[in-house]
């Protein structure tokens, strides 16, 4: 729990330090979580937005693995 709170603070402090949120966003999307729920988690600082996830997945489909 403390790790999640610290990651939320880091996310709000610097958008370059959001690897935890990226990992959670892709995990939740792969589990089938709805877009609205992902947007709520993004508002809380626990995930990237659904638009970002869609862009990453489409770029991974094209073979661009440098998005991370």
Q: What is the pLDDT of residues 19-49, one digit of tens each?
A: 888 888 989 999 999 999 999 988 888 888 8
> By percentage, how much of the chain surpasses pLDDT 70?
81
Cβ(38)–Cβ(28) below 8 Å = yes
Amino acid 38: pLDDT: 92
pTM comes to: 0.68
Mean of all residue pLDDT scores within the chain: 81
Task: Assign residue 58 a region (left: φ > 0; alpha: ψ between -120 and 50; beta: otherwise).
Answer: alpha
Residue 9 has pLDDT above 80, yes or no: no
């Amino acid at each position: 729990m403390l790790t999640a709170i610290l990651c939320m603070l880091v996310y709000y402090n610097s958008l370059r330090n959001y690897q935890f949120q990226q990992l959670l966003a892709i995990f939740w999307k792969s589990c089938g979580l709805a877009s609205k729920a992902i947007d709520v988690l993004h508002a809380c600082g626990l995930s990237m937005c659904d638009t970002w996830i869609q862009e990453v997945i489409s770029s991974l489909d094209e073979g661009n693995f440098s998005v991370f």
